[in-house]
Homo-oligomer: A and B are copies of this chain.
Amino acid sequence: MNPTERLGYTQSTKLLIIHADDFGLAQSENAATIMALEQGSVNSSSIMVPCAWFPESAAYSKAQPAADLGIHLTLTSEWTYYRWRPVLPAHEVPSLVDEQGFLHDSVEKLSRYATLPDIEKELRAQIERGKQFGIAPTHLDSHMFGLVAKPEFLTVYLKLGREFGLPLLLNRDFILRTAGYDIRPYITDQYLLVDYLYSAEPQDYEAGMISFYTKTLQNLQPGLSVVLLHPAYNNAEMQAITVDHPYWAADWRQYDVDFFTSPACQKILEEQQIQLITWREIRDKLSTET
């Protein structure tokens, strides 16, 4: 059964999650994410537990229990001057940290050095810490797709989803294209694959973000789709975090805010008869399957 029918919709339904990644990363990210959830078309987000601004995102989650918020499982600390450590002490997860005790700054290093027991311990601690702060997560996903970078990592991701009873962001084509392997053999009936995953990449930024998002929504196909964005304001804090990084930087994130809080976006969603769905709805429907 395809995902839309499994979720109780007709096969021709264009189901979409508009998802803000990186909630908790920074104050700029938090303020823009909350604005995009409350005043824009964004209907889901996930929280980075190890970051300094995590408590602000957790407080939002407690204050707005109906918001669709998951845990953005985080194994990389990728910026230059604004870094974070794992939730666990570095000596308990030595394969996850650099010589300064921060999480590795790239998925490449993560793939090279991280051991499965360390990954599992740290991510379990992130989920538990999220719950300690009052988050009742609706889903799990993986910062920078670190957890799907290779099949061994994927098995940890699948295990955590199963154990915590939470849906996972998983898309076959995206992983095949970026990580080079087919996830099908690892996926049993209890998991749900997203049919289409959209996330702007450097060439989309170069060609124009508004154009990329407009075309993405205008051409959305029937099935379950996810658009990932990273809303933040293009301010001093975000510019300093993303310094020396041409992509996913402060201006990129401002485009995400601008498009997904625009009347133009709302209009396309209506014109294309796109049906928004949350991870909460997916979680609850999957949990009642016999």
Contacts and interface: CB of A to CB of B under 8 A. Distances in A.
Contacts of A53: 81-82
Interface stretch (A36-44, A188-196, A232-240): A232-240
A290 interface: no
Interface in A72-105: 80-85, 89-92, 100
**A53, A81, A235: which has the most chain B beta carbons within 10 Å?**
A81
Interface in A230-248: 233, 235-237, 240-241
A149 interface: no
B89 A27 contact: no
Given A27-B241, A236-B233, A240-B31, A132 B52 contact: no
A55 interface: yes
A173 interface: no
A81 B55 contact: yes
How large, as a class, is the contact surface on chain A?
Answer: 20 to 34
A205 interface: no
A124 B89 CA distance: 17
Contacts of A236: 27-28, 31, 233, 235, 237
Contacts of A83: 52, 55
Interface string A213-242: 000000000000000000001011100110
Contacts of A84: 52
Interface in A23-74: 26-28, 30-31, 51-53, 55-56, 59
A211 B59 CA distance: 38
A133 B27 contact: no
A53 B81 CA distance: 7
A34 to B, nearest CB: 11
Contacts of A56: 81-82, 240
A125 to B, nearest CB: 11
A56 to B, nearest CB: 4
A100 B237 contact: no
B81 A59 contact: yes
A53 B241 CA distance: 9
B91 A27 contact: no
11 contacts: A26-B237, A27-B237, A30-B240, A51-B52, A52-B52, A53-B81, A55-B83, A56-B81, A56-B82, A235-B235, A235-B237
Which 5 pairs from chain A and chain B are nearest by CB? A89-B89, A52-B52, A56-B81, A237-B237, A27-B237
